[in-house]
Amino acid sequence: MTTSAKRHSTLPVAANDRSGPAASPRVKLYKRRIAIRHADPQAGERLLAEALGAADRDALHGLLSQLVKASVIGRKPDEANLAFLISLVKNIAPKDSIEAMLAVQMVSVHAAAMRSACRLGLTDDIPQQESLTRALTRLARTFASQIEALSRHRNNGERAITVRNLSVQDGGRAIVGNVTQHASMIVAEPNVATAAGPVPPREAGEYERAESRHGASA
């Protein structure tokens, strides 16, 4: 990979919009090399490494090469599509090597899903439609699994639980809105309690059956 001092042109809107983060350096694709288009070669590599979450120069070149392959349109890498994929990875904002690899996989799966969707819309052949539908479904499920994997990794391996129903007894305090905790949290059934406090659902059922038998024998 080499760098080039040649500046790339930008759309007027993008050039005048200073409210968002600066765009990552564009990449120029040649037959046998890749050039980062930036006035300062070292600054260009640094900005692109930050966008992709690459820990060093080798990681940057490896991730960028993989994205080049994922950008293929009509059997040829596409610069505009590559810039789009880099932008997506940058917005995912990978914080370490695992997140960087997962982010690159996610945008690659998204690109493959969109290619399948495009081919599905262009064919009238029933067997091809069925095959493409299965492929698109698998890719969509894979993408959803990748989102969940990224979320678990960022939450230290715990799955988040959102509690939307809340029961408040006398003297308690309520929180308005959704409350999210991790998988280690235990939520009791509302209105089920003993003198010792809330009882888990299974134990609550056993407690009620015991009370019913006691009342019947009395």
Q: d(Cα 71, Cα 79) in Å, to the nearest integer? A: 8
Yes or no: say if 68 and 107 are a contact pair by the CB < 8 Å rule: no
Tell me which of 5-14, 44-53, 138-147, 148-157 is least confident.
5-14
pTM of the model: 0.64
- 96, 98, 99, 105 alpha-carbon torsion, rounded to 10°: 140
Q: d(Cα 73, Cα 119) in Å, to the nearest integer? A: 12
Structure tokens at 172: 């308690």
State the average pLDDT for the chain: 79
- Residue 145: is its pLDDT beyond 80? yes
Residue 154 pLDDT: 95
Structure tokens at 114: 């969109």
Separation in Å, CA 140 to CA 108, 121, 213: 12, 16, 52
Q: d(Cα 41, Cα 90) in Å, to the nearest integer? A: 19
Residue 10 pLDDT: 42
Residue that the structure tokens 């993989």 belong to: 66
- Residue 209: is its pLDDT beyond 90? no
Residue 201 pLDDT: 53
pLDDT tens, 25-55?
899 998 888 889 998 989 999 999 999 999 9
> Of the candidates 40, 122, 52, which has an alpha carbon nearest to the alpha carbon of residue 82?
52
Tabulate helix, strand, coil % of the chain (nearest 5): 55, 10, 35
pLDDT classification of 59: cutoffs 50, 70, 90: very high
- Residue 67: is its pLDDT beyond 70? yes
The string of DSSP letters for 86-149 reads: HHHHHHH---SHHHHHHHHHHHHHHHHHHHHHHHHHH---HHHHHHHHHHHHHHHHHHHHHHHH
pLDDT classification of 5: cutoffs 50, 70, 90: very low
Residue 41 pLDDT: 86
Which range is most confident: 47-51, 170-174, 178-182, 211-215?
Answer: 47-51
Range 119-140 average pLDDT:
96
